[in-house]
Structure 1
């Protein structure tokens, strides 16, 4: 992911710019446009949001969002999936989900695309953890690998039938193989 501008700018300036497709992120004074999602990426993103929301939304435990802009700690990033505990979700005066999330997610999930810079993606997960996020997943569909990031711990490499960690507020049992089985329709 290459920077799309050469001179540093302020976060406030970035937030006034029109949204781009695919989304752009603001990191260390620079704008970086995310790559266009491809099939595996989109399918995993959709199915993971759906899996979380099926067990958490009706009980008002949490909500999962695809491609939600989160602005905190001097960055404005758009993780592939963010999960927020219900009590932390910003709602507007009508009781609807707010358009602006100026808080860290409780759980962030990044699905790396073939042309995406894995280091930049991991740095966004680490930024989230430094600002209060409880869990980060880095999913690599090509390698069939998931790295789990927890605050204060080294990343855990998970594969095959290993069960993935989830935040304590959520009851969701998934193995690495089950995550990648989501790529198969039906």
Structure 2
């Protein structure tokens, strides 16, 4: 669902009341994310736990679900935003900040049944244009994952294809492994 609002700025958007699910602002358009369903929630939870299980103890990176990232004149809420440890915004006390005014190093989106693939891919390409190293668009219906790399290079991965992971994270996953989490 996309709503065109007459000449609203990013700062005006950020002053609007929060919506559930979250709304995003990109290229002057506000759109509300769809409500997550079973497959989406399962994949999101497993990925956050798996990434944090190997990256957080070693202080390499941190995966955060549904985090608003404000950068490049946009406010995007990836299903999972992964930040390298040294790039996690912190208060002077060392405590994590509430407002992340930067791009994620790795952005992961999980396509919901009635969601526009073009819109979600556009968000990942936008992230890539602004510094995100890796983007994943997980497509449960097709058991495939589109990977977005710097320079807007996109690859379709399926089956036993090994997924790209941020450097220094000791994690190896295939597309099959990710989708096997849907079978209980």
If the TM-score is normalised by the length of the shorter chain, which range does it land in? over 0.9
Tell me how far apart the structure 2 counterparts of residues 10 and 37 of structure 1 sit (CA, whole Å).
27
Which residue in the other structure is 1:47 paired with?
46
Question: 1:154 aligned to 2:161?
Answer: no
Tell me how far apart the structure 2 counterparts of residues 28 and 157 of structure 1 sit (CA, whole Å).
26
1:1-186 paired onto structure 2 within 5 Å: 2-152=1-151, 154-185=153-184
Aligned residues: 184
Describe the shift of the 1:49–1:105 C-alpha distance in structure 2 as closer, same or farther (beyond 3 A). Answer: same
3-state DSSP class of the match of 1:152? helix
Q: Is the 8 A contact 2:55 2:62 kept in 1?
A: yes
Moved over 3 A (4+): none
Q: CA deviation at 1:113?
A: 0.3
Which runs of 5 or more residues in structure 2 are unaligned?
Answer: none
Tell me how far apart the structure 2 counterparts of residues 153 and 175 of structure 1 sit (CA, whole Å).
22
Tell me how far apart the structure 2 counterparts of residues 42 and 4 of structure 1 sit (CA, whole Å).
25
Q: CA deviation at 1:168?
A: 1.1
> Taking structure 2 as the reference length, what is the TM-score of the superposition?
0.96
Tell me how far apart the structure 1 counterparts of residues 90 and 123 of structure 2 sit (CA, whole Å).
25
Tell me how far apart the structure 1 counterparts of residues 29 and 11 of structure 2 sit (CA, whole Å).
12
RMSD: 1.1
> Taking structure 1 as the reference length, what is the TM-score of the superposition?
0.95
